[in-house]
Amino acid sequence: MSDYGKIILGLVGFLVLCTSPFWYQVLSSDGLPAPELKLPVGEQGCVESKEYMRALHMDLLNRWRDAVVRDGERIYVSTSGREYQMSLTGTCLGCHTSRADFCDQCHTYVGSENYCWSCHVEPINLRVEAR
Amino acid sequence: MAEPRPDEMEFYKQEELVQIDYTPPQTSWMRTPVDFRPGSWIYPAKARHLEYLGLANPREWSPLDEDWKLPEDWKEIIFEGMRERLNKYRSFKLFMDICVRCGACADKCHFYIGGGDPKNMPVLRAELLRSVYRRDFTLAGKLVGKWVGARELTPEVLKEWFYYFFQCTECRRCSVFCPYGIDTAEITIMGRELLNLLGLNVNWVIEPVSNCFRTGNHLGIQPHGLKDTLEFFAEDIEEVTGIQVEIPINRKGAEILFVTPSGDFLADPGTYTCMGYMMLFHELGLDYTWSSYASEGGNFGLFTSHEMIKRLNAKIYAEARRLGVKWILGGECGHMWRVLHQYMDTMNGPADFLEVPKSPVTGTVFENAASTRMVHIIEFVADAIRNNKLRLDPSRNDGLRVTFHDSCNPARSMGFFEEPRYVIKSVCNHFCEMPENTIREQTFCCGGGAGLGTDENMEMRLRGGFPRGNAVRYVQEKHGVNRLACICAIDRATLSTVCDYWAPGVEVTGIHELVANAMVMEGEKERTLNLRLEPIERGEGVS
Amino acid sequence: MNVLVALTALLLLGGIVYLGVEIAGLEFLFGVIIPYAAVLTFLIGLVIRVISWARTPVPFRITTTCGQQRSLSWISPNRIDNPSTTLGVLGRMALEIFLFRSLFRNTRNELREGENRLVIGPSKWLWLMGLAFHWSFLIILLRHLRLFVEPVPQITLLIQSLDGFFQVGVPVVYSTSLLFVTAATLLFVRRIVLPQVRYLSLPTDYFPLFLLISIAGSGIILRHFIKIDIVRVKEVVLGLMTFRPEAGGLPVLFYFHLFLVSVLLAYFPFSKLVHMAGVVLSPTRNLANNNRRIRHVNPWDYPVKTHTYQEYEEEFRGKMIGAGIPVEEEDNG
């Protein structure tokens, strides 16, 4: 049974690997880390309801992009009947001025790549450039 | 002319035999009973052999009987036997647990290819045991039974075991393709061990075992008979070469003990290979001896149980010790070499009373046999040829178009591929390979290994031999091959039938027959006859 | 028939979630208790299983050799398919585990009737499907780490960006999602379509496939159709990870996904899925073919009854002397 030790060693290795997310989580953070979004002050609400935006903002942005780029339409009529310019930089970033304080909070949290920024420039940079 | 019977080749029409129906039956395999049709099963072990060996439940019986005369508590015996083996063999336990039934093995078995019976798919052969294992040794099986492929052990299941575990030649071909290395040979060995606990074995295995135990060899040749046989070979050798070779038997103080399968003493073409050994040893001036006590290299214990392997194999080291030899040389044989390579040292070693084998001819030390201290004669002769210690005239074999059949056990339990090819190419001018999926580690069994090579099993032998015979016929038609070389005594016996049936015109030979025919011996007369006493055909313009 | 058994089992599981979460509101049971129990069952069950294998000895070294042995110095051995050293064994096992070496050898037979000829050629489909299935499964698992760990590990981000390289759709469609479902479906179709494979398949062969296809399917629906609130998912999962569980706020399909994963985990150690661990221990693959060079010891070896030379000579002495064969004791002849 000379290989018994080796097998146990391998088994321990496997267990450590399997449970490593637990250890990592338990040892590395003292509280439950959660996204903290800085919401714009003084605004009544977003383009659509909060619940809708939370789950489907990427869908909305995607439709805006297609509408503007492909069909040249620029006006979006929301469920409540209000009209918005379909513009990431203009409309969205007009209120949510900081990528780090808003977008990245959740996107980093769930590890979801946000490829808006492969074309668009962050508003903070805009302001820096404008100066 | 008498009508052929099921134990004769002529009984089977080739056109009918190749109408192989691969469509599975309508009924599930768990509910399809065994059909003991003549030609597909082997006569049971005779009571006197079981008695002599001290094995269980000696009695006269037949698989065709409704009542197999099992002991009262046969189920308990099987369960206890399974429990014991599950705790002793990791292979068994693991192979019961991890099969995913991917089916990669299904069409790798020669019996399945040649017969189409789904229970000859290695996976289902193993399921025959696994279904019982699940029912009685796993939680899920106990709880939900057949939904997880579990079933009760009944006399019908036992009959299936008997039929199908004696329809496996333990050739290990399926094990090459299995993604988990599940080895049906291992399953079959376990299945047969369990059957043996109830006195269920076949005579073609048990009689050789019993003979071997008593007389030292499977055929039951007694010491004086062995001497007569070898003297008879010596006479033929003298007729062919004009040289008298010596026949040392049980000679103490020899350097080398030579052990070969006893099949080579009895039946052509193995006999010619045996003559080849004698001529080679004479020519090289080897200080060697035969043993009458250990006059068998083969080991039908492998087809019975692990314990029986050990009981029979013990003779070889015991005799080497008694005779005081330095090391052991083994002849051309298949399953013999599986035992010698993978079991002997573990079972009956350590062989520390021997020396690490060193060729007295070339001085080569066989490091690969440093512990077992037993060398394969093909390794030995390849080394001699490589070092120019033999004068060879391959043109003497020019009448032959040779192909090589890798014998299952040396192929898949040793990796014995290049040595035999090197030797053949050194002594023959015309060599070609069979198709690549039928040679080396993918080689096909002769269909008669593991104790199945008896005539009453003729239908299965011909079916099992179909893939090999088919490949032989291919090179026969394409390259004019007329000689099939092999390094296995069972092959030499059973492939002759396979070739006569599937590739008539091709004859079988051991490699040392080819070597001896090509070997130019010191003081020989002009060779006009080969060892078969046929005139030698020399080719034109072959250097 | 066997397919139906497996399918019924799966439908039952689906029904249980629906009733449990949607009707009875047992979110804590399905979101917390069952997943914890499943993980524990998986880990403990697998450990027990592997230890039970490990405690069973390997009495003989029964390597299956698939290449040239190491023998004479001038013959080059196949160091991987017929390893004679530990390093070679590691190579062989790595190829076996990561690339399914043995399955790669797979062949297909064709019986050409009329000419009575059997033709054997290579067949890579099963290998390809198996490889696609297992590798995409692993990658999907690693991708899921983003929900289990905060901050998200770099390796996961890297895998994600490679996996979603084509940036199709929002959220991005991962190629392994499609590959996994395709491969699993093909493996199922293969079981149904090939008569031999269908004949040998048990309900327990279909069930894990159905389970995995359902898990993958529900995951894809959650991501691409329902577009589940992923932040909430991570909060729930992290709650589980840090033993501060909280359930709720997620659609029933999420519980379906989670419940089937739990079933898979709990089912694992008691099923054929243990091949994951078993493949490493297979004695025909993980032993070096150096039998004649180094002695293998059988821990339970025991003495057996043999027929000794003395017994043999006793029986045949007269004949041996008559034939001039040397004997140990001349006088008794």
Token code pair at residue B3 = 């009508």
Query: Least CB-CB distance to B177: which of C59, C60, C106?
Result: C106
Pull the structure tokens for residue B73: 């508590």
CB atoms within 10 A of CB C272: 21
pLDDT tens for residues B429-443?
999 999 999 999 999
Q: Which residues of C make CB contacts under 8 Å with A?
A: 43, 47, 50-51, 53-55, 57-58, 145-152, 156-157, 160-161, 164, 167, 170-172, 227-231, 233-235, 238-239, 241-244, 277, 280-281, 299
How far apart (Å, rounded) are the C-alpha atoms in residues B489 and B344?
Answer: 19
Q: In this structure, which amino acid lies at residue C12? A: L
Are C316 and C180 found together in one domain?
A: no
Report in angstroms the alpha-carbon separations of C194 from B108, B401, B537, C285. 16, 40, 52, 28
Read off the pLDDT of each residue in B365-392 and give the average, rounded to a whole number.
98
Considering B151, B180, B201, which residue would you say is the last residue of a domain?
B201
Query: Considering its fold, how many domains does chain B have in total?
Result: 2
The DSSP bridge partners found for residue B259 are: B330
Domain match, B22 and B70 both: yes
How far, in Å, CA of B320 to CA of B344, rounded?
Answer: 13
Assign B11 to helix, strand or coil: helix
Give me the count of residues in chain C.
Answer: 333
| Residue A1 in this model has a pLDDT that exceeds 60 | no
CA distance B502 to B470: 6
The pLDDT of residue B253 is 95
pLDDT at B55: 97
Pairwise CA distance, residues B395 & B490, whole Å = 28
Q: Do residue B229 and residue B184 come from a single domain?
A: no
Q: Over pLDDT 90: what percentage of chain B?
A: 94
- Chain C residues whose CB is inside 8 A of the A54 CB are 229, 231
Question: Which residue from C minimizes the CA distance to B116?
Answer: C196
Residues B400 and B276 in one domain: yes
Q: Is the pLDDT score of A26 beyond 90?
A: no
CB atoms within 10 A of CB A26: 13
- Residue C297: give its domain's CATH number: 1.20.950.20
Instruction: Say how far apart CA C291 and CA B373 lie, in whole Å.
Output: 11
Cis check: omega of the bond before B350, within 30 degrees of 0: yes
For residue range C38-81, what is the model confidence (pLDDT) as tens digits?
999 999 999 999 999 999 999 999 999 999 999 999 999 999 99
**Shared-domain flag, residues B414 and B484:** yes
Portion 65-104 of A in contact with C at CB < 8 A: none
Q: Does the beta carbon of A22 lie under 8 angstroms from any beta carbon of chain C? A: yes
**Rounded CA gap, B126 and B118, in Å?**
12
- Test C196 with B422 for CB contact under 8 angstroms: no
Residues B339 and B485 in one domain: yes
What pLDDT score does B30 carry? 93
Q: Facing residues of B405 across strands?
A: B486
CB neighbours of B256 closer than 8 A, spacing ≥ 6? B286, B287, B288, B289, B325, B326, B327, B328, B329
Q: Which pLDDT band holds residue B541 (cuts at 50, 70, 90)?
A: very low
Q: Of B172, B343, B438, which has the smallest distance from its Cβ to C64's Cβ?
A: B172
Confidence of residue B154 (pLDDT cuts 50, 70, 90): very high
Nearest CA in chain B to C124: B104
C184 & C326 share domain: no
Among A1, A6, A118, the residue to mutate for chain C (most C Cβ within 10 A): A1
Give B269's contacts (C-beta < 8 A, 6+ positions apart): B492, B496, B507, B508, B509, B510, B513, B532
On whether any CB of chain C is under 8 Å from the CB of A31, the answer is no
Cβ atoms within 10 Å of C5's Cβ, excluding its own: 18
Q: Are residues B336 and B291 in the same domain?
A: yes
The minimum CA-CA distance between C49 and chain A, rounded to whole Å, is 11
- DSSP for C211-234, written as a single string: HHHHHHHHHHIIIIIS---HHHHH
Measured in angstroms, the CA of C91 and the nearest CA of chain A are apart by: 17
Give residue B543's identity as a one-letter amino acid code.
S
In this structure, are B307 and B379 located in the same domain?
yes
Place B454 in a pLDDT band, splitting at 50, 70 and 90: very high
Residue C217 sits in the same domain as residue C256: yes
Alpha-carbon distance C229 to nearest alpha carbon in chain B (angstroms): 37
Stretch B171-188: mean pLDDT, rounded? 97
- At residue C223, what is the residue type? R
Both tokens of C213, joined, read 């296809």
**Which residues of C fall within a CB distance of 8 Å from A10?**
280
Verify that C238 and C318 share a domain, yes or no: no
Sign of the dihedral defined by the CA atoms of residues C27, C33, C36, C42, in that order: negative
Do B464 and B499 lie in one domain? The reply is yes
Contact present, B402 and B428 (Cβ < 8 Å): yes
One domain, residues C148 and C172: yes
A113: pLDDT strictly greater than 90: no
Residues of chain C in contact with residue B414, where contact means CB-CB under 8 angstroms, are 65, 69, 289
Same domain, B146 and B223: no
CB pairs under 8 A between A and C: 93
The B402-405 sheet, strands edge to edge? B402-405, B483-486, B507-510
- Find chain C residues with C-beta within 8 A of B135's C-beta: none
The string of pLDDT tens digits covering residues B100-115 is 999 999 999 999 999 9
Q: Which residues pair with C120 in a beta bridge?
A: C109
Residue type, C303: P
- Would you call C56 and B251 a contact, using CB atoms and an 8 Å cutoff? no
Residues of B in contact with C203 (CB under 8 A): 147-149
Instruction: Tell me: do C44 and C161 sit in the same domain.
Output: yes
Q: How far apart are CA B416 and CA B151, in angstroms?
A: 41
Q: How many CB atoms lie within 10 A of CB B327?
A: 21
Output the CA–CA distances (angstroms, integers) from residue C12 to C15, C22, C119, C202, C208, in the order listed. Answer: 5, 15, 46, 18, 14
- Strands C107-112, C117-122: pairing is antiparallel
C199 and C313 share a domain? no
Q: Are the beta carbons of C152 and A110 separated by less than 8 Å?
A: yes
Which residue of C58, C231, C286 to mutate against A (max A Cβ within 10 Å)? C231
Q: Which domain holds residue C317?
A: 306-333
- Does residue B224 sit within a domain? yes
Does residue C330 share a domain with residue C213?
Answer: no
Find chain A residues with C-beta within 8 A of C229's C-beta: 54-55
Does residue C314 sit in the same domain as residue C288? no
DSSP states of C13-70? HHHHHIIIIIIS--HHIIIIIHHHHHHHHHHHHHHHHHHHHHTS---S--PPP-S--S
CA pair distance B480, B17, nearest whole angstrom? 25
In which domain, by residue range, is B187 found?
9-201
In the prediction, which pLDDT does A31 show? Answer: 61
Closest to A22 (Cβ–Cβ): which among C57, C241, C281?
C241
Residue B101 corresponds to which tokens in the numbers above?
A: 């039934």
User: At residue A9, does pLDDT exceed 90?
Assistant: yes
Report whether B385 contacts B425 (CB < 8 A): no
With H, G, I as helix, E, B as strand and everything else as coil, classify residue B7. Answer: coil
Least Cα separation, residue C281 to chain B (angstroms): 8
Q: Give just the sign of the alpha carbon dihedral B242, B247, B252, B255.
A: positive
pTM (predicted TM-score): 0.94
Pair C289, C172 in one domain: yes
Same domain, C258 and C126: yes
Hey, are the CB atoms on C65 and B412 less than 8 Å from each other? yes
3-state secondary structure B366-394: CHHHCCCCEEEHHHHHHHHHHCCCCCECH
Residues of A in contact with C228 (CB under 8 A): 55
**Domain boundary residue among B201, B230, B255?**
B201
> What mean pLDDT do residues B503-512 have?
97
Contact B104, B155 (CB under 8 A): no
Which range among B185-199, B382-396, C229-243 shows the weakest confidence by mean pLDDT? Answer: C229-243
d(CA C212, CA C215): 5
Contact A108 C152 (CB under 8 A): yes
Inspect the interface and report whether the beta carbons of B107 and C130 lie closer than 8 Å. Answer: no
Q: What is the CA radius of gyration of chain A?
A: 23
**pLDDT 10s digits, B17-48:** 988 999 999 999 999 999 999 999 999 999 99
Inter-chain residue contact C325 with B292, CB threshold 8 Å: yes
Buried b (16+ CB within 10 A) or exposed e, C45-61: bbbebbeebbebbbbbb
**pLDDT for A130:** 52
Chain C residues lying within 8 Å of A13, measured CB to CB: none
How far, in Å, CA of B314 to CA of B316, rounded? 6
A2 pLDDT above the threshold of 70? no
User: Looking at chain C, which residue has its C-alpha nearest residue B386?
Assistant: C74
Give pairs for C185-194: CB < 8 Å, separation 24+.
C185/C213, C186/C129, C187/C129, C187/C130, C187/C133, C188/C213, C190/C125, C190/C126, C190/C129, C192/C3, C194/B103
Q: Is A26 on the interface with C (CB under 8 A)?
A: yes
Do C260 and C196 share a structural domain? yes
Q: Which residues face B329 on adjacent strands?
A: B258, B375
Rg (CA), chain C: 28
Q: Can you read off the two tokens belonging to residue B121? A: 């798919």
pLDDT of residue B462: 97
**Position of tokens 């296995």?**
B488
What confidence score (pLDDT) does residue C151 get?
85
Give the pLDDT mean for A29-40.
Answer: 75
SS3 of residue B500 by DSSP: helix
CB contacts of C62 in chain B (<8 Å) are 91, 183, 186, 342, 413
Q: Are residues B393 and B477 in the same domain?
A: yes
B235 and B145 together in one domain: no
Residue A100 carries which DSSP code?
I
pLDDT of residue C22: 87
Phi, psi of B498 (to 5 degrees): -60, -45
Percentage of residues of chain B with pLDDT beyond 70: 99
Closest CB to B370: pick one of C117, C293, C326: C293
Rounded to whole angstroms, what are the CA distances from B444 to B71, B439, B467, B495? Answer: 38, 7, 7, 11
**Residue B1: pLDDT over 80:** no
State whether B159 and B240 are in the same domain: no
Give the residue from B288, B237, B277, B248 showing the smallest Cα distance to B524. Answer: B237
Answer yes or no: is B278 within a domain. Answer: yes
Residue of B336, B369, B358 whose CA lies nearest to C70 = B369
Highest mean pLDDT: which of A19-23, A90-94, A98-102, B486-490?
B486-490
Indicate the residue of C201, C291, C315 with minimum beta-carbon distance to B101.
Answer: C201
Binary contact (C231, A110; C-beta < 8 A): yes
Contact C57 A21 (CB under 8 A): no
| Three-class DSSP category at B330 | strand
| Alpha-carbon distances, residue C105 vs B437, B499, C49, C81 (angstroms) | 9, 27, 29, 12
Question: For B15, which residue in chain C has the nearest alpha carbon?
Answer: C116
Six token digits for residue B142: 């106990």
Low-confidence ranges of chain C (pLDDT < 70): 331-333
Report the distance separating Cα B185 and Cα B172, nearest Å.
Answer: 6
DSSP B290: B
